[in-house]
Amino acid sequence: MPKAKPGDHAAPSPPARSRGRLIVVANRLPVNRAGAGDWSRSPGGLVSALEPILARRRGVWVGWDGGTGRAPRPFVHQNLSIHPVALSARDVEQFYNGMSNRSLWPLYHDAIRTPEFHRRWWETYQDTNQRFARAAARVARRGDLVWVHDYHLQLVPRMLRELRPDLRIGFFLHIPFPPEELFAWLPWRTAVLKGLLGADVVAFQTQSSAQNFSRMARRYAGAEGTDARVETGPRAVRVRALPISIDFQEFDTLAADPKVVRAAKEIRQRLGGRRVLLSVDRLDYTKGIEHRLYMFEDLLDRGLIGVDDAVMVQIAVPSREVVPDYTQTRTQVEHSVGRINGAHAEPGRVAVHYFRRSLSRQDLAAYYLVADVMLVTPLRDGMNLVAKEYVATRRDLSGALVLSEFAGAARELRRALLVNPRDVDGFGAAVRQALSLPSEDARQRMAILRMNVRRHDVHDWARAFLEELEGS
Ligand code: ADP
Ligand code: G6P
């Protein structure tokens, strides 16, 4: 493990195109401390996206290991230098579950659940951000690029700049940045904006998020400038829309792996050779799982779909389970699955298969291969990588993607069947259309979708961001 060496604080900014290391600062590390000495892969899109990038270059990752109390010493994981940041039980409650996941997450996702604001959570958010900033300042050497990620760490860019004015600092928000109608609710909106404005480059998943941020910075943080460049005092901050993506090659290759193909065949047989409607999500209220089940139930109730012809498979990975809105979502989902199967299942033929567990990449790819129709229908989502992963596995151009208009991915994947998940009639009609799409139409759509994802893969995304940062 390379020894961390404090940088030269008085040094001037490094020249553009510096060949320093990449320091990622994110709440989650790529691995998560599951129990005594056990590590597992961390959940969610942030880790899925960043892992392949860091696998290709010398990198350092500063983040939380998922435990409480003393952090493990720095270690090396798959060529990557890992620097754990310790969170206490109180930090987990107030910074992670509280401010991050009960204030900011719902606020930034259209207030689908009502955000709560508490002074204590905010104080702990500030303290914890300060700790991440100090950890990054200790690890970074002169010339390194520091890339801070997501809503947990919005104060880090400014805090880090105060500690290390010599560094180039970038920030990427993986979730939507809300419009003024919602952002203005945040009691600490000015501090959050000033925190983000400490970066040289601030980037978002979509143009509308980028625009929302620039407008809020002008309105509430005294910044000036345009949508793409905001000025605070003598500093200019580049504001960009850079939609994140996946490692296309990884999923394309997995889909041709004989073991995966065999597993897919077996799953299909076990499902009774019926048409398969698949969904894969973190068990989160933003993902619209209840709305999706309701749509499917409605089609069954009206006899527009039958259990002899089609089956729905919902794979849901547990997430943020102590937050009450998540417990409630799980209860509602499980209740709906029980109700639908109670009314419609036949011997040997359930209507909905529900798996609440995390799967390996291979098993996930096998399910993608089995899916005649992929339902990706969040109520709001920064991007949604599952949609792109599905497309990358469809080498034979079969299959159809039904995609919510409210996922960032809908801005790029225009040839999917786009739906409003709250419009049960429109949603149901799109699913029926997906099931009966003429094969030439389906193939043409899938070919274009695959071209979109292949051309704009995660390496392309990282390259674009780092070029902005090095040139800033
Ligand atoms: P989010 O970041 O909100 O969780 P994304 O769709 O962007 O949503 O990313 C989710 C990531 O987690 C994807 O890479 C997907 O493959 C992975 N994932 C989702 N559900 C599971 C599961 N049950 N088992 C394993 N990985 C999963
Ligand atoms: C989303 C967020 C990530 C987060 C992930 C998993 O992708 O944008 O920042 O890591 O969900 O959530 P968790 O709370 O388990 O880290």
Per-residue pLDDT of the chain (472 residues; tens, 9 = 90+): 233 332 323 333 333 445 689 999 999 999 998 766 678 889 899 999 998 888 888 799 999 999 998 989 999 988 899 999 999 999 999 999 999 999 999 999 999 999 999 999 999 999 999 999 999 999 999 999 999 999 999 999 999 999 999 999 999 999 999 999 999 999 999 999 999 999 999 999 999 999 999 999 999 999 999 999 999 989 999 999 999 999 999 999 999 999 999 999 999 999 999 999 999 999 999 999 999 999 999 999 999 999 999 999 999 999 999 999 999 999 999 999 999 999 999 999 999 999 999 999 999 999 999 999 999 999 999 999 999 999 999 999 999 999 999 999 999 999 999 999 999 999 999 999 999 999 999 999 999 999 999 999 999 999 999 999 999 8
The residue contributing the CA closest to ligand 2 atom 5 is 44
Q: Is 284 a catalytic residue?
A: no
Checking DSSP bridges between strand 352-356 and strand 310-317, what pairing results, if any? parallel
CA angle 337/32/50 to nearest 5° reads 90
Mutate to test the pocket of ligand 1, among 283, 289, 364 (most ligand atoms within 8 A of CB): 364
Q: Which residues are bridge partners to 146 per DSSP?
A: 23, 169
Domains 22-245+459-471 and 248-455 share a fold: yes
Q: What is the pLDDT of residue 36?
A: 66
C-alpha span between 96 and 364 (Å, rounded): 28
- Kindly state the helix (H) or strand (E) to which residue 138 belongs, with its residue range: helix 119-139
Q: Name 199's Cβ contacts closer than 8 Å, sequence gap at least 6.
A: 148, 157, 161, 169, 170, 171, 237
Q: What is the pLDDT of residue 19?
A: 66
- CB-based burial label for 69 (10 Å; 0-12, 13-18, 19+): exposed
- Residue pointed to by tokens 């207030």: 111
Instruction: State the pTM of this model.
Output: 0.95
- Kindly state the helix (H) or strand (E) to which residue 353 belongs, with its residue range: strand 352-356
C-alpha span between 193 and 214 (Å, rounded): 9
Index of the ligand 1 atom closest to the CA of residue 48: 14
C-alpha span between 40 and 219 (Å, rounded): 43
Q: What is the pLDDT of residue 429?
A: 98
Residue 303 CB coordination number (10 Å)? 7
The residue contributing the CA closest to ligand 1 atom 16 is 386
Separation of 122 CA from ligand 2 center, angstroms?
19
Q: What is the DSSP string of 240-273?
A: EE------HHHHHHHTT-HHHHHHHHHHHHHTTT
C-alpha span between 378 and 372 (Å, rounded): 19
CATH class, domain 22-245+459-471, is alpha beta
Q: Which residues are bridge partners to 237 per DSSP?
A: 230
Q: What is the pLDDT of residue 8?
A: 29
CATH T-level assignment (fold) for domain 248-455:
Rossmann fold (3.40.50)
C-alpha span between 334 and 360 (Å, rounded): 23
426 lines ligand 1 (CB under 6 A): no
Q: Is 174 a catalytic residue?
A: yes
C-alpha span between 365 and 394 (Å, rounded): 10
Q: What are phi and psi of 449, to 5 degrees?
A: -60, -45
Q: Which residues are bridge partners to 204 per DSSP?
A: 241
Pocket of ligand 2 from Cβ distances under 6 Å: 28, 43-46, 150, 174-175, 319-320
Separation of 118 CA from ligand 1 center, angstroms?
30
Mutate to test the pocket of ligand 1, among 47, 279, 282, 354 (most ligand atoms within 8 A of CB): 282
Q: What is the pLDDT of residue 57?
A: 82
Helix axes 361-370 and 385-393, enclosed angle (nearest 10): 70
Domain residue extents for the chain: 22-245+459-471, 248-455
| Residues 440/382, Cβ–Cβ less than 8 Å | no
User: Which sign, positive or negative, has the C-alpha torsion 63, 65, 68, 71?
Assistant: negative
Residue 112 CB coordination number (10 Å)? 17
C-alpha span between 229 and 202 (Å, rounded): 10
